[in-house]
Amino acid sequence: MAEAINHDPRLAIEIAGIRFHNPVIGASGTFGYGLEFAELIDLNRLGGFATKGLSARPLSGNPPPRIVETHGGMLNAIGLQNIGARAFIKEKLPQLRGYDTQIIANVFGYSDDDYIEAISILNDGEGIVAYELNISCPNVKEGGIVIGNSPESAARLTEKARRASTRPLIVKLSPNVTDVTLVARAIADAGADCLSLINTIVGMSVDVNTRRPRLSYGTGGLSGPAIRPIAVRMVYEVARAVDVPLIGIGGIACASDALEFIIAGATAIQIGTANYYDPTVTMKVIDGLSAHCQSNGIEKLNSITKSILTE
Amino acid sequence: MAEAINHDPRLAIEIAGIRFHNPVIGASGTFGYGLEFAELIDLNRLGGFATKGLSARPLSGNPPPRIVETHGGMLNAIGLQNIGARAFIKEKLPQLRGYDTQIIANVFGYSDDDYIEAISILNDGEGIVAYELNISCPNVKEGGIVIGNSPESAARLTEKARRASTRPLIVKLSPNVTDVTLVARAIADAGADCLSLINTIVGMSVDVNTRRPRLSYGTGGLSGPAIRPIAVRMVYEVARAVDVPLIGIGGIACASDALEFIIAGATAIQIGTANYYDPTVTMKVIDGLSAHCQSNGIEKLNSITKSILTE
Amino acid sequence: MMIETLATVESNRELAPGYRLLTVDFKQDVQVSPGQFAMLKAHASIEPLLRRALAVYGVQGSRRISFLYQVLGRGTEALAQVEKEASVEALLPLGNNWPVERAANQRAIVVAGGIGSASVLMLCKELAASSVDAQLFFGAASKNAATGCGLADLSALGLPLTLTTDDGSLGERGFVTAPLERHLREGAGAGATIYACGPWVMMKRVAEIAAQFEVRCLVSLEAPMGCGFGVCVGCVVAIKTDGPLGYDSYKRVCTEGSIFPAETIRWEVNAMTH
Amino acid sequence: MMIETLATVESNRELAPGYRLLTVDFKQDVQVSPGQFAMLKAHASIEPLLRRALAVYGVQGSRRISFLYQVLGRGTEALAQVEKEASVEALLPLGNNWPVERAANQRAIVVAGGIGSASVLMLCKELAASSVDAQLFFGAASKNAATGCGLADLSALGLPLTLTTDDGSLGERGFVTAPLERHLREGAGAGATIYACGPWVMMKRVAEIAAQFEVRCLVSLEAPMGCGFGVCVGCVVAIKTDGPLGYDSYKRVCTEGSIFPAETIRWEVNAMTH
Ligand SMILES: Cc1cc2nc3c(=O)[nH]c(=O)nc-3n(C[C@H](O)[C@H](O)[C@H](O)COP(=O)(O)OP(=O)(O)OC[C@H]3O[C@@H](n4cnc5c(N)ncnc54)[C@H](O)[C@@H]3O)c2cc1C
Ligand SMILES: Cc1cc2nc3c(=O)[nH]c(=O)nc-3n(C[C@H](O)[C@H](O)[C@H](O)COP(=O)(O)OP(=O)(O)OC[C@H]3O[C@@H](n4cnc5c(N)ncnc54)[C@H](O)[C@@H]3O)c2cc1C
Ligand SMILES: Cc1cc2nc3c(=O)[nH]c(=O)nc-3n(C[C@H](O)[C@H](O)[C@H](O)COP(=O)(O)O)c2cc1C
Ligand SMILES: Cc1cc2nc3c(=O)[nH]c(=O)nc-3n(C[C@H](O)[C@H](O)[C@H](O)COP(=O)(O)O)c2cc1C
Ligand code: FES
Ligand code: FES
């Protein structure tokens, strides 16, 4: 078992009955299967993490180049390369159970059935505390439709997943929509326990010498500090539209960034791209949140969720 | 009249019968009424510029703070402060006619009637070559609806404006939509001569000490290099969906940025935020485009519009 | 005539922790009046994007200009890294200037708070060289801040100087508005013009005091600036007009200002900025 | 064991225009094998965000490590600005290493193209100190590039060295693959291992030549890297598997590589990266 750690009690939160040491969660696709960070940070101090998107069967992903850096961010078109839900249970979960952190299985499929199949497999995985449905990956449009971009298809899948799942259900919202509150409301009404947002924003970068896109897939998902203002705005909007707890994601690289999301309406936050260029960023954000509580006399960090002042 | 200038003939373009010295256009709201740049650059070398959004009557705009810098960009909620269409004709146009550059009047209203009224007034303004309808400003939602976010309302307004206008009509697209090609097609079908894109993306930044948004308006429009990948992607998508010429906008700060848009499908480009931090950027981009033609043996820059290679 | 150029750094030294003096060579003649400012940025620095507004602190000869600045956030931190011989992107001169009437019986009262001192040194020099009866009130957070904000340069002018620090580490303890108020209460405001530059709350209080004693008062305002030359309309301040907020309600700090008659400012509307 | 730390810069000097040698002190013992790399970034620099992959060029003592790099784009430009005493964010050691078998009759052929030299200097040192019969082929664009890519350090090892430059300004004119091919044609490949690092096209050609002469060949690949430690899956290279591209088709250059047996690479699939 994990060694004893002095968690700051002011940071503890609960979402759908799951207790997190703190609201700092590693974002899916940027935290591998968690174990990659075992040498870099103390996983027992982390609120939790979301696995790389898991599908019923392993996926190979897109050909390279898969990533390109842009101003303040990066584009990726990984294409959901993953070892598959079964291999995750067999090869990763046993080791992960040795850590005192909350493991969220991020789930992906090309069709409703794919999702349900993946969830059914993962239901047998001991140590997973919740599912996060990735219905918003911009890099794998089969038939040109992203499920998460329409309230109807998103609600339909959420309902099915709700029935299939033995665990709390987080649904991850797409930012590539006209009105994020419409999709959010449909998903919340369909039974999601929590919404996480945002996934990446579809973008493109062109090599002006070869006149080709810099990613083999053509377009990719934009992440990093560049998108933070868009993400904060969406969390703010969704917090006014639904009653379920929110997990804020998008360009968080320090405690102050995390606080923007919390004040705008998030109960927890996920850190993605920043893990790449600052592998210990999650620990720094946890420390920074403690410091903020300290200097502002905050007894429970979650008391400032949605405390934003607007007239 | 303007002094003689050696324009690079390779850069000349034509949109809806209007000839531009080159494809470099100052973006609305970042180029004032043009005259502010007279001391800084040679306006006669510029392809053209779009005025600050003009409404039938003067507008006061939003209270401060109106701008805040973010990573790779800035948020603004100016609220369309402008001197009004009549004052523009009387106070600005006479001086502007002394310059050999193309003047596009950017037009704004709260209702269809407002737009039509502004256009009727501007029709009398000698020296304006085209209108650019700003149907996508995120900072002035009367009744919560942005006309440019729905294909129906966008097409309706475009048709009305088409009838009211004596000049070519450019319609400026909102990026805050699920599928930009739907709106683009509706607007093109309704008779627009050209589409410009993108306007700013709705965002928010929160002061974690005061727990207030950093802009008095709450949300604002994100511009600058941070949004470039999103803008390039939308130009790429729209170029495949419509046949009218496109003007690419979003985070352009150098010739290579401009070329990304051109290769993705733009005939011309507009430069916005970069004018603030590099007031002579338009001249640098013009020179850079010439250099690119030179070193790549390009005889007509517009021959590489939409030359992007994708399999 | 505005000059947009790459200027060469001659020195960029720390005056006190958190405060620096930057001197640059414009390699061409520059005409600047007291109270005007420049937009500055380290050359080719990618982040932050926007230049920062800094008042012209001093002019040596016709081409060398210095700026006194406080290192606060990303922009001034980037500026603090700039080394001798490096280039800064600069646009100047910008904004209006402190009007100095040289009538024999005119009096000047200069009130500087913190780094607001940077905007008034040239004014004080002009006053010191003139026949105007000038009085200087300077408030800073601490002795360190006072040093960093150029106390030595201000003192050297020989004008009567009243110094306050918030923590009492130098001069009178408290805010600079206290001795100012005493001074006016003693009748020193008759025929005077108050020139004030400092934090928003200080200027607001100075404006109230000036109104109370019916003394003419000019303030140099700060606002977040996108461009500095009038095109973004991001730097506005709400101005008193007849009736409600209307078309004329907002003036650009960079163009119509940064110096405004204190009584024209709608202090309450702009409060959120500060 | 990976080390994530702030290392202190001891020197960062230009070897030739466009090429620099960075030496940093890790203030703790670091174990690095030839061919491994680090992810590096100037501390607290805001743009670009991502660290850059640099091979470990040399190790002095147990704590001091040097990197040889070419200044190409934003990341290496930012690194070039870093001064003595400043900090760099560093994660290392990363990736696998060049395997050296010390069997008496084994032969080693090292092929370095351009800055690929950075990845093989430690390998060459190890070979020079061993009983292995080693031969070095080094190609660069020009005399300047050869100097910048550490020609002096490579020469100093005393291994037989064949040098080419694209423009003929030093050594043989042409690509380094020409003398390599001659060498193998003369039968020198028997029982040898080729260790190659350089531009993609060079390594592809080396792989073809190695296949033709049936010589074992290892290549150290480059790929755009998001993280360097295996979590972003952005740095993959397509690997030959039975059948079409499938789950096993992609391997991470940062984790399963950067060194791969040349014959396992699907050179055509990855072509777009280069
Ligand atoms: C006309 C004018 C003249 C000026 N002259 C000088 C001068 O001579 N010397 C000098 O040191 N400063 C001067 N300033 C202020 C200076 O421009 C700001 O300190 C600077 O923009 C802050 O940039 P930053 O990147 O360091 O901070 P940011 O990262 O932009 O912000 C850092 C912190 O400072 C706050 N802040 C940012 N801008 C302002 C502002 N305008 N007013 C109040 N708080 C702000 C932010 O809220 C934040 O907390 C002047 C401003 C104006 C408008
Ligand atoms: C395992 C590994 C070890 C490396 N070791 C060294 C080393 O020891 N010394 C050294 O100088 N370089 C080394 N590199 C390459 C180095 O990482 C790149 O040169 C660097 O990332 C470029 O960053 P930049 O910011 O300068 O360029 P960017 O701004 O990222 O790009 C500048 C130009 O270089 C091109 N470019 C960027 N990355 C690569 C790449 N990986 N391959 C080819 N072209 C690229 C871009 O297309 C662009 O045209 C290594 C790379 C890897 C993967
Ligand atoms: C390389 C990469 C891979 C990602 N893979 C996934 C994924 O598998 N599932 C998912 O839900 N989100 C995925 N994301 C999205 C992130 O979890 C996150 O929502 C997004 O990057 C925004 O946060 P950030 O700006 O902090 O990175 C990925 C992001 C990146 C950069
Ligand atoms: C301060 C500011 C004011 C703007 N005002 C207008 C406007 O009045 N009308 C309009 O159509 N677009 C307006 N825009 C949008 C720009 O024209 C442009 O579409 C957008 O900023 C993206 O380009 P950029 O990244 O180059 O700035 C404004 C942008 C900024 C930053
Ligand atoms: S700073 Fe842009 S108008 Fe004043
Ligand atoms: S660089 Fe991220 S997995 Fe290799």
Q: What is the pLDDT of residue D91?
A: 98
C41 lines ligand 1 (CB under 6 A): no
Give me the mean pLDDT over the A164-177 stretch. Answer: 96
Neighbours of chain A (3+ CB pairs under 8 A): B, D
Q: What is the pLDDT of residue A136?
A: 82
Give the span between the Cα atoms of C256 and C220, in whole angstroms: 11
CB within 8 A of B152, min separation 6: which ones? B186
pLDDT in tens, A256-290: 999 999 999 999 999 999 999 999 999 999 999 99
pLDDT in tens, B19-52: 999 999 999 999 999 999 999 999 999 999 999 9
Distance from CA of A277 to the nearest CA of D (A): 5
Helices (DSSP H) in D54-199: which residue ranges?
74-80, 117-128, 143-148, 151-155, 177-185
Give me the mean pLDDT over the D230-244 stretch. Answer: 88
D234 lines ligand 6 (CB under 6 A): yes
Phi and psi torsions of D125, nearest 5°: -60, -45
Q: Does the pLDDT at position B172 exceed 50?
A: yes
Q: What is the pLDDT of residue A1?
A: 44
Question: Which string of DSSP letters, residue by residue, matches B137-194?
Answer: -TT--GGG--GGGSHHHHHHHHHHHHHH-SS-EEEEPPS-SS-HHHHHHHHHHTT-SE
**A120 touches A156 (CB < 8 A):** no
Q: What is the pLDDT of residue C49?
A: 97
A199 lines ligand 3 (CB under 6 A): yes
Q: Which residue has the higher pLDDT, C241 or D41?
A: D41
Ligand 1 centroid distance, CA of C149 (Å)? 14
Closest residue of B to A211, CA-based? B308
Per DSSP, D156 falls in state T
A215-219, C189-193, C242-246: which has the highest mean pLDDT?
Answer: A215-219
The proportion of chain B whose per-residue pLDDT surpasses 70, expressed as a percent, equals: 96
- B191 touching C (Cβ < 8 Å): no
D264 lines ligand 2 (CB under 6 A): no
Report the nearest atom of ligand 4 relative to the CA of C233.
Answer: 1
Instruction: Please count the CA atoms within 13 angstroms of the CA of B139 that sit on its side-chain side.
Output: 29
pLDDT in tens, A81-90: 899 999 999 9
Q: What is the pLDDT of residue D124?
A: 96
Q: What is the pLDDT of residue D233?
A: 95
Q: What is the pLDDT of residue C44?
A: 85
Top residue of A173, A211, A240 to mutate, by most chain B CBs within 10 Å, is: A211
The proportion of chain B whose per-residue pLDDT surpasses 90, expressed as a percent, equals: 90
Question: Cβ contact (<8 Å) for B201 and A263?
Answer: no
- D230 touching A (Cβ < 8 Å): yes
In A, which residues are within 8 Å of B232 by CB distance?
203-206
Ligand 5 centroid distance, CA of A21 (Å)? 46
In B, which residues are within 8 Å of A309 by CB distance?
210-212
Q: What is the mean pLDDT of chain C?
A: 93
- D268 touching C (Cβ < 8 Å): no
For chains A and B, what is the number of CB pairs under 8 angstroms?
132
D54 lines ligand 2 (CB under 6 A): yes
Pairing between strand B201-203 and B220-223?
Answer: antiparallel
Closest residue of C to D46, CA-based? C47
Q: What is the pLDDT of residue D106?
A: 82
Helix or strand run (H / E) with residue A156: helix A151-164
Neighbouring C-beta atoms of residue A1, cutoff 10 Å: 8
Before C261, cis peptide (omega within 30)?
no
Q: Does the pLDDT at position A14 exceed 80?
A: yes
Neighbours of chain D (3+ CB pairs under 8 A): A, C
Provide the β-strand partners of residue B269. Answer: B24, B248
Report the nearest atom of ligand 6 relative to the CA of D236.
Answer: 4
Q: What is the pLDDT of residue A273?
A: 98
Q: Across the interface, which of B210, B229, B304 has its CB nearest the CB of A203?
A: B229
Q: Which residue has the higher pLDDT, C265 or D242?
A: C265
D226 lines ligand 6 (CB under 6 A): yes
Q: How confident is the model at residue D149 (pLDDT cuts 50, 70, 90)?
A: very high
- C226 touching B (Cβ < 8 Å): yes
Give the span between the Cα atoms of C120 and B208, in whole angstroms: 33
Q: What is the pLDDT of residue C111?
A: 97
Q: Does the pLDDT at position A141 exceed 70?
A: no
CB within 8 A of B90, min separation 6: which ones? none
pLDDT in tens, C126-173: 999 988 889 999 999 999 999 999 999 999 999 999 999 999 999 999
Give me the mean pLDDT over the D26-54 stretch. Answer: 95
Give me the mean pLDDT over the D122-147 stretch. Answer: 94
Question: Cβ contact (<8 Å) for D272 and A61?
Answer: no
Give the span between the Cα atoms of B82 and B92, in whole angstroms: 12
Token pair listed for B273: 């935020």
Give me the mean pLDDT over the B95-101 stretch. Answer: 96
Judged by CB atoms within 8 Å, which residues 10-29 of B form the interface with C? 29
Which ligand has the minimum distance to the alpha carbon of residue C199? 1
Q: Does the pLDDT at position B137 exceed 90?
A: no
Q: Could you tell which of D41, D231, D256 is best to mutate to test the pocket of ligand 6, judged by most ligand atoms within 8 Å of the CB?
A: D231
- C190 touching B (Cβ < 8 Å): no
Q: Does the pLDDT at position A144 exceed 70?
A: no
- D243 touching A (Cβ < 8 Å): no
Ligand 1 centroid distance, CA of C75 (Å)? 8
Distance set, CA D202 to CA B20, B309, D174, D220, D269 (Å): 45, 25, 12, 11, 16
Helix or strand run (H / E) with residue C65: strand C64-70
Of A137, A194, A254, A293, the active-site residue reads A137
The interface predicted TM-score of the complex, written ipTM, equals: 0.96
Q: What is the pLDDT of residue A137?
A: 72
Question: Which string of DSSP letters, residue by residue, matches B76-109?
Answer: E-----B--HHHIIIIIHHHHTTS-SEEEEEE--
Closest residue of B to A217, CA-based? B310
Q: Does the pLDDT at position D219 exceed 90?
A: yes
Q: What is the pLDDT of residue B4?
A: 74
Q: Across the interface, which of B52, B65, B275 has its CB nearest the CB of C272?
A: B65
Q: What is the pLDDT of residue A142?
A: 53
Q: Does the pLDDT at position D245 exceed 80?
A: no
Q: Does the pLDDT at position C270 exceed 80?
A: no
Distance set, CA C88 to CA A57, A273, C63 (Å): 56, 32, 14
Distance from CA of A241 to the nearest CA of D (A): 33
pLDDT in tens, C117-131: 999 999 999 999 988
Q: What is the pLDDT of residue B175?
A: 96
What sign results for the dihedral spanned by CA atoms B18, B23, B27, B30? negative
- B273 touching C (Cβ < 8 Å): yes
Closest residue of B to A289, CA-based? B208
Give me the mean pLDDT over the A173-178 stretch. Answer: 94
Q: Could you tell which of C2, C232, C258 is best to mutate to test the pocket of ligand 5, judged by most ligand atoms within 8 Å of the CB?
A: C232
Q: What is the pLDDT of residue B1?
A: 44
Q: Could you tell which of C2, C255, C259 is best to mutate to test the pocket of ligand 5, judged by most ligand atoms within 8 Å of the CB?
A: C255
Give me the mean pLDDT over the B219-240 stretch. Answer: 98
D116-148 b/e (C-beta count within 10 Å ≥ 16 → b)? bbbbbbbbbbbbeeeebbbbbbbbbbebbbbbb
In B, which residues are within 8 Å of C234 by CB distance?
66-67, 76, 78
Top residue of C43, C47, C76, C79 to mutate, by most chain D CBs within 10 Å, is: C47
Closest residue of D to C45, CA-based? D47
Q: What is the pLDDT of residue A139?
A: 62
Distance set, CA C207 to CA A200, C34, C196, C198, C219 (Å): 49, 21, 9, 12, 8
Question: Cβ contact (<8 Å) for B66 and C230?
Answer: no
In C, which residues are within 8 Å of D48 by CB distance?
46
Q: What is the pLDDT of residue D247?
A: 64
Q: Does the pLDDT at position C243 exceed 70?
A: no
Tokens 């996934």 — which residue? A199
CA C123 to chain CA centroid, nearest Å: 10
Judged by CB atoms within 8 Å, which residues 73-102 of D form the interface with C? 74
Q: Does the pLDDT at position C69 exceed 90?
A: yes
Q: Does the pLDDT at position D258 exceed 90?
A: yes
Question: Cβ contact (<8 Å) for D74 and C46?
Answer: yes
Question: Cβ contact (<8 Å) for C238 and B84?
Answer: no
